Amino acid sequence: MRPFEYASPTDVGHASLLLSKTWGDSEILAGGTDLLALMKDDVLRPKRLVNIKQIKELRGITATGSEVRIGALTTLAEIADNATIMQSYSALAESVNEAASPQIRNLATIGGNLCQRPRCWYFRSGFGLIPKYEDGQDMVEEGDSRYHAILGNGGLAKFVSPSTIAPTLIAYGAQVRIAGSGSPRQLPLEKFFVIPQSENEREHDLKPNEIVTDVILPKPASTVKFGYYEVRQKKAFDWPLAVAAVALDMNGSTVKRARVVMGAVAPVPWVPADAASFLVGKEVKEDTAWIAAQKSIEGSKALKNNGHKIWLAEIAVKRALLKAAGGAA
């Protein structure tokens, strides 16, 4: 590991001042489960680490009548074990419990999970977000693309968004709060993720000197049902091949509004609007769930080695819908 400066501020304002205005010069240290591995592998080479663990305002889960605030430093284990989350956001509790091993959940934070870097093996081997050979050929398209994107991959980026919690949070309508040297801002979580167009960009709507401070969850209506499903290669912990989270606002047995969010299939959490609009006015049964699942992967493009992910993504959406509606998955 290369040498670096180390700072440990106790408030967000001081922390943002310690962060560089240029990506790569400084990095935020929270749980460290992702960052330290990238530094050890010489993928990231920050000149300064800004440890935010001493900022007490970034911790904890607070519920009000209309929303729940989760501080960015709250660990995944704390979220999964929280009574409010288990009672009112059960699909989130399920996705958090599936997100990592127990040891990692005790260290990893919700802010770190949302800001983690891609699991693409080209990126993790030091070839960058948009890896290319010396002759300009795309490494992913020419190489092993088994775990890469099937949606949103028409541009240069072919990795998949690594957070398996983000799709569930988006299904719940989560917002993310961000603080930095300028005015604090808040935006829908789905808009926090972006597809980079060059190596000099990152995968989040975040400036180099900004910090994610909170995740805000609106209180779900009693008529809304949620479902979460992921497909893995093995039952033990593994990175999923496809993830689906759905929200169904029901009017009796029919769908009044719907939201479908997919993970592990695109460089950002994928929200297929056509699948959601198809469900409106219908009962969620085997046939309607299957058609909605097929609509969720419209426009998909298989790379050389990942055509199987299209089928698996359909399965994940179908089973999440049936799970939310209370049917067999």
**pLDDT at position 328, please?**
54
Residue 278 and residue 174 in one domain: no
Q: In this structure, is residue 131 part of a structural domain?
A: no
- Name the residue among 245, 111, 98 with its Cα closest to residue 168: 245
Residue 187 and residue 69 in one domain: yes
Query: What is the percent of the chain where pLDDT is above 90?
Result: 90
- C-alpha distances (whole Å) from 105 to each of 74, 82, 99, 253, 289 are 10, 13, 8, 37, 32
Residue 203 and residue 315 in one domain: no
Q: Which residues pair with 23 in a beta bridge?
A: 26
**pLDDT at position 284, please?**
96
| Burial status of residue 127 (CB atoms within 10 A of its CB: 0-12, 13-18, 19 or more) | middle
Q: In this structure, is residue 14 part of a structural domain?
A: no
Residue 276 and residue 214 in one domain: no
Residue 261 and residue 206 in one domain: no
Element (H, E) at 274: helix 273-279
Residue 91 and residue 230 in one domain: no
Identify the residue whose tokens are 């930095």: 180
Instruction: Report the sign of the C-alpha dihedral through residues 195, 201, 202, 207, in that order.
Output: negative
Residue 103 and residue 243 in one domain: no
Q: In this structure, is residue 123 part of a structural domain?
A: no
**Helices and strands per DSSP (H, E), number in the chain:** 14, 11
Q: Quote the pTM value.
A: 0.95
**pLDDT at position 100, please?**
83
CA distance 169 to 94: 12
Identify the residue whose tokens are 């949070």: 169
Residue 85 and residue 213 in one domain: yes
- Name the residue among 21, 72, 4 with its Cα closest to residue 211: 72
CB 227 within 8 A of CB 245: yes
Residue 102 and residue 184 in one domain: yes
**pLDDT at position 169, please?**
98
Reduce the DSSP state of residue 148 to 3 states and report it.
coil
- Say which residues have a Cβ less than 8 Å from residue 19's Cβ, sequence separation at least 6: 26, 28, 50, 180, 208, 209, 210, 211
Domain that holds residue 277: 224-325
DSSP 167-190: HHHHHTT-EEEEESSS--EEEEHH
- In the chain, which residues have pLDDT < 50? none
Residue 166 and residue 79 in one domain: yes
Q: Which domain CATH number covers 195? A: 3.30.465.10
**pLDDT at position 131, please?**
94
Q: Which domain CATH number covers 314? A: 3.30.390.50
**pLDDT at position 233, please?**
86
Q: In this structure, is residue 36 part of a structural domain?
A: no
The total domain count for the chain is 2
Q: In this structure, is residue 45 part of a structural domain?
A: no
Q: In this structure, is residue 40 part of a structural domain?
A: no
Residue 239 and residue 305 in one domain: yes
Domain end, chosen from 188, 218, 248, is at 218
Residue 295 and residue 197 in one domain: no
